[in-house]
Amino acid sequence: MVNDRSAAITIGGKEYEMILTTRATKEIAKRYGGLSNLGDKLMKSENFEMALDEVVWLIALLANQSVLIHNLQNPQDKREPLTEEAVELLTSPLELATYKESIMEAMFKGAKRNVESEDDSKNVVVG
């Protein structure tokens, strides 16, 4: 689908592609004040439960981007979004820790792609 800007994870035996979309970036900005603040929040969280909540929220947000894209492009074959409750029930804290790498990979790929797009537009020669 969009593998060049996604990272795959498996939850409850089902594979999801985590994608950093513009919509996800807006949600992250609302919650953290921007992408740069997200890393600080995840790494410096003293409260273990709060850290788990943040990782669960991010997994659901990023994994649901591929579900929403699929549903937009295939209205006759809609998929159910992944809920935070499902993530909590179908994963262990150890798995969540390993998913942090996938979260960062998806965000890096998405951010890298956005930066490349911006760089290209700035290099356009205007007559």
Secondary structure (DSSP) of the chain: --GGGEEEEEETTEEEEEE--HHHHHHHHHHHSSHHHHHHHHHH---HHHHHHHHHHHHHHHHHHHHHHHHHH-TTS--PPPPHHHHHHH--HHHHHHHHHHHHHHHHHHHHHHHHHHHHHHT----
CA gap 5, 24 in Å, rounded? 13
Regarding predicted confidence, which is higher, 90 or 122? Answer: 90
- Inside any domain, residue 63: yes
| Residue 50 predicted with pLDDT over 80 | no
- Bridge-based pairing of strands 6-11 and 14-19 is antiparallel
Count of structural domains, the chain: 1
- Inside any domain, residue 34: yes
- Inside any domain, residue 127: no
- Inside any domain, residue 81: yes
User: Average model confidence (pLDDT) for the chain?
Assistant: 81
pLDDT of residue 120: 47
- Inside any domain, residue 118: yes
| Residue 41 predicted with pLDDT over 60 | yes
- Inside any domain, residue 30: yes
- Inside any domain, residue 65: yes
Query: Model confidence over 102-115: pLDDT tens digits?
Result: 888 888 887 765 44
List the domain range (segments joined by +) for residue 36.
Answer: 3-122
99 band by pLDDT with thresholds 50, 70 and 90: confident
pLDDT of residue 39: 67
- Inside any domain, residue 111: yes
